[in-house]
Amino acid sequence: MNHDPSQDAPVRLEYEGAIAVVTLNRPAARNAVNAALTDALEAVVAKVEADDAIRVAIITGTGGKAFCAGADLKEVTEGGLARTFTTDGGFAAFVNAA
């Protein structure tokens, strides 16, 4: 059996017709937002927004314990909070309070 490396990505993107299913994929950390997840989600958001065939995006999380625990506190205590924000998208490249 071959291992699909995309299953290990911090964010997965799948299509169901005109629906984009975006899955946060850090179940061991309850999908907490770190720099890698932020970078991956920024790329996925850009891809979905650029695709005129997509009518809706659903964001979900793996693991069954939490959709998203918020900022990864390990990364925050190591001084990495700024890496969980992007210029255009805000926190996690998706939550913009503006």
Q: Where are the domains of the chain?
A: 5-86
- The pLDDT of residue 96 is 79
In the structure, what pLDDT confidence band is assigned to residue 5 with cuts at 50, 70 and 90? Answer: low
Q: What is the pTM of this model?
A: 0.87
User: pLDDT for 70-93, tens place per residue?
Assistant: 999 999 999 999 999 999 889 999
Residues 83, 90 contacting (CB under 8 angstroms): no
Query: What pLDDT is stored for residue 45 in this prediction?
Result: 94
pLDDT, tens digit (0-9, with 9 covering 90-100), for 16-48: 999 999 999 999 999 999 999 999 999 999 999
**Residue 32 CA, distance from chain mean position:** 9
**Does residue 1 have a pLDDT over 60?**
no
Length of the chain: 98
What is the dotted CATH code of the domain comprising 5-86? 3.90.226.10
Q: Work out the average pLDDT over 53-57.
A: 97
